[in-house]
Copies of this chain bind each other. A is one copy, B any other.
Amino acid sequence: MSTRYALTLSCPNRPGIVAAIADALFRRGFDIQAAHQFDDPASGRFFMRTVFVAAREEADFPALTEELEGLRARFGMKLALRDQSVPRKVMILASKFDHCLVDLLYRHRIGELPMAVTAVVSNHPRESYGGLDLNGTPFHHLPVTRETKMEQEAALWALVQSTGTELVVLARYMQVLSDALSAKLSGRCINIHHSFLPGFKGAKPYHQAYARGVKLIGATAHYVTADLDEGPIIEQDVERVTHEATPEEMIRRGRDIERRVLSRAVAWHLDDRVIMDSKRTIVFAQ
């Protein structure tokens, strides 16, 4: 089977972009397998995701990349080209609650998430996760206190760099990243917040939801930016609750919502289906 490439791009919309890309792929011997595009009428920007394979013997990848570089310059594109057969390197951060961590590792194990897990990092020790088979993945215990926060973030960043981590997943990691680290990870760090944002930012969202008497609770996966709980949203989902649901019951139901919302966001990111656009995201979901 041929290598599969994913091309994602955005640029100011003007006539001829699709024709130029399609023509380049065709002439260089590649065959489009899936394509999504979006012309944003509000911003005037154009977004595109194309997945393609070498269709014929004469497929010439170096020539294609050179040609795409020309188009990038000509149209002012932000452009990413990726060989999808190489799994992305992903680091998972967790705290006390491990339902998202366990879920991501399980999905990875059965082949649902094409990634290479570089490390699991927690501010709790390895013993906290009884019953969790890491299957050889390195585990790092980086306990955080007010005093050690800077230092531990430095250790975390060193780990990201040394492992070549391309995506950091905050799987109910309960430490707030500093602005500096958030900025460094911009566009490659996904957090799960346990509320339907923008409702119930901050701490104890299920208790807030209970107090407000909402009839649906939710969770939100978003890219991390310096602005806490304000990053571009990738996915959200909700479940219905009644007056019978205590905060504890909401927390229980929330676990289900959180893990499916986070896993969808991660899966779409890994499949090059998400493009950040300022405070919003374009998600070419299946």
A residues with CB within 8 A of B = 15-16, 18-19, 22-23, 25-26, 30-42, 55-56, 99, 102, 106, 109-110, 112, 130-133, 135, 196-200, 210-216, 218, 232-238, 240, 242-246, 249, 252, 255-256, 260, 279-283, 285-286
Contact = CB atoms under 8 A, between A and B. Distances in A.
15 contacts: A15-B26, A15-B31, A18-B22, A19-B22, A131-B135, A197-B199, A213-B233, A215-B235, A215-B283, A216-B237, A216-B238, A238-B238, A240-B240, A243-B281, A256-B260
Tell me the dominant secondary structure on chain A's binding face: mixed
A70 B240 CA distance: 38
Contact of A196 (B199, B240, B243, B260): B199
Given A199-B198, A233-B214, A18 B35 contact: yes
Given A26-B19, A42-B246, A216 B198 contact: no
Contact of A216 (B211, B236, B252): B236
Nearest to A27: B19
Given A26-B15, A26-B16, A243 B213 contact: no
Contacts of A16: 26
A284 to B, nearest CB: 9
A249 B230 CA distance: 23
Contacts of A212: 197-198, 233, 279-280
A214 B238 contact: no
A109 B130 CA distance: 9
A26 to B, nearest CB: 4
A242 B47 CA distance: 14
Nearest to A110: B99
Contacts of A198: 199-200, 212, 214
Contacts of A199: 196-199
Given A198-B200, A216-B238, A131 B131 contact: no
List of 7 A-B pairs having minimum Cβ-Cβ separation, nearest first:
A213-B280, A19-B22, A18-B22, A131-B133, A199-B199, A19-B26, A215-B236
Contacts of A39: 32-35
Contacts of A240: 240
A267 to B, nearest CB: 9
A278 to B, nearest CB: 9
